[in-house]
Amino acid sequence: MTADSVTASAAAPGAEYAETASAAYRAALQVIESVEPRIAAATRQELADQRASLKLIASENYASPAVLLTMGSWFSDKYAEGTIGHRFYAACQNVDTVESLAAEHARELFGAPYAYAQPHSGIDANLVAFWAILATRIEGPGLAALNAKHVNDLSEQDWEGLRNKLGNQRLLGMSLDTGGHLTHGFRPNISGKMFHQRSYGTDPESGLIDYDAVAAAAREFKPLILVAGYSAYPRRVNFAKMREIADEVGATLLVDMAHFAGLVAGKVFTGDEDPVPHAHVTTTTTHKSLRGPRGGLVLAQPEYADAVDKGCPMVLGGPLSHVMAAKAVALAEARQPAFQTYAQRVADNAKSLAEGFLKRGARLVTGGTDNHIVLLDVTSFGLTGRQAESALLDAGVVTNRNSIPNDPNGAWYTSGIRFGTPALTTRGFGAAEFDRVAELVVDVLNNTTPNPTGPAGFSKAKYTLADGTADRIHAASAEMLDANPLYPGLSL
């Protein structure tokens, strides 16, 4: 068992902790089983499936038993609209404690002057950030009126001014196919409908962000908001340069660090690569590389704090108090020295995975990685991302297909597979195991062929995996998985 295993908490590591967690889960499942046994069975099966598979989805991880158990509490029963000390419901003093602790841990962990722990997800965190920036930046009739009047007191003239001003605001974010996220201005997403939107991409040759090109786009477009951050870009970002660009054109810099927040918390990203000192507003999820519950956070500089604090009722409904409690536990775990060791191993293991692919002739977007993401171009195997994802799943390797720059197969079939190292690093995998993972992945892809659709071509979805491949990969994976068990000592 590794020191940073999900079975080891800062408070109670070791066999006693595992046995206590086992007893808690067994009791909980017995209670669930008495009401709906199929849910209890599905819960047990999910743990079995996760234990038996190589989880390489970059946005997934394994939360500790302490985090998971925190969510199953009486806080789930509370309504608590509003914010700390100013709720629209009575008897929220314990929710105030929970939210205060989550915000405190977030501020201390990231060195942020202000933290807001209510967002239910990363998308919600970004929506809160967008509206807070609009409320802070727009002058005259508009969102600022919401701070001065009750919404029911706004006149039609107020609303007309609001609509006109919102319709003229501009957002510049990273394009989806070069690594950005849906909420960074993708047209079908609400962010692409709220704003007059434009995207920046990456250098066509290197696949890296061209900061001069971003600056030129910002000067020409003059956005109100410049969005930095990514969901599928396998490199670090210089946030000091992004802030310089934002300042030059008078934009607010919003950094979405949902994917790499664990590397920031773990001090792998420091200086110009740490977004929090440079961004006006920073958003994140609390799962992924942070290894917490599914949820979001907003960190902000003081001038945006009041507007962010109005996320409920402006954007959010009732806070999920039980999840905020779990956020506080996860953030407390991330403040322990073992988390920094874990975060560094996540980055080191990504390099090992990338090197394993490269030495076996695979093609990587940007030629490698220096974060937790490896983006594999599967066109050299004659496959689409959808075929590769499905064939790997048949062999017990859990990934997700992903677009690559200028993807010829579009956003559905794609030409890439995105890999992430946080989850298997949590299980205890190291450099040798990740090199072996690369070998197994290449083995699967070399033994997968697209099905013909007739004389004209081949399917983008259907495929054939050579006989014996899945069994061979499952057997090889089992050796590593058994040596690095998930929640060792936890028995149901």
Query: Are 329 and 272 in a shared domain?
Result: yes
Output the pTM of the full model.
0.91
How many domains would you assign to the chain? 2
Query: Are 79 and 146 in a shared domain?
Result: yes
pLDDT of 33 higher than 70: yes
Distance CA 83, CA 117 (A): 10
Confidence of residue 455 (pLDDT cuts 50, 70, 90): confident
Confidence of residue 160 (pLDDT cuts 50, 70, 90): low
Mean pLDDT on 12-40 = 87
The answer as to whether 31 is a domain residue is no
Instruction: Just list the catalytic residues.
Output: 79, 81, 256, 285, 288, 294
- Quote the percentage of the chain above a pLDDT of 70: 91
Distance CA 162, CA 224 (A): 16
pLDDT reported for residue 145: 52
Mean pLDDT on 350-361 = 98
Query: Are 295 and 383 in a shared domain?
Result: no
pLDDT reported for residue 229: 93
What is the tens place of the pLDDT at every residue in 363-405?
Answer: 999 999 999 999 999 999 999 999 999 999 999 999 999 999 9
Comparison of pLDDT for 89 and 16, the residue scoring more: 89
Query: Are 157 and 174 in a shared domain?
Result: yes
Distance CA 76, CA 169 (A): 38
Structure tokens at 59: 């946005």
Question: Looking at 334, 349, 371, which one is the last position of a domain?
Answer: 334
Mean pLDDT on 451-463 = 87
Query: Are 347 and 311 in a shared domain?
Result: no
Confidence of residue 358 (pLDDT cuts 50, 70, 90): very high
* Range scoring the smallest mean pLDDT among 131-135, 235-239, 478-482: 131-135
Contact 164, 171 (CB under 8 A): no
Hey, what's the torsion of the CAs at 237, 55, 61, 431, to 10 degrees?
Answer: -60
Confidence of residue 11 (pLDDT cuts 50, 70, 90): very low
Which domain covers residue 372, as residue numbers?
337-483
* Range scoring the smallest mean pLDDT among 9-23, 43-57, 450-464: 9-23
Distance CA 438, CA 369 (A): 14
Question: Looking at 272, 299, 334, which one is the last position of a domain?
Answer: 334
Confidence of residue 137 (pLDDT cuts 50, 70, 90): confident
Hey, what's the torsion of the CAs at 445, 450, 451, 457, to 10 degrees?
Answer: -170
Question: Looking at 293, 313, 334, which one is the last position of a domain?
Answer: 334
Contact 459, 452 (CB under 8 A): yes
Structure tokens at 9: 């908490």
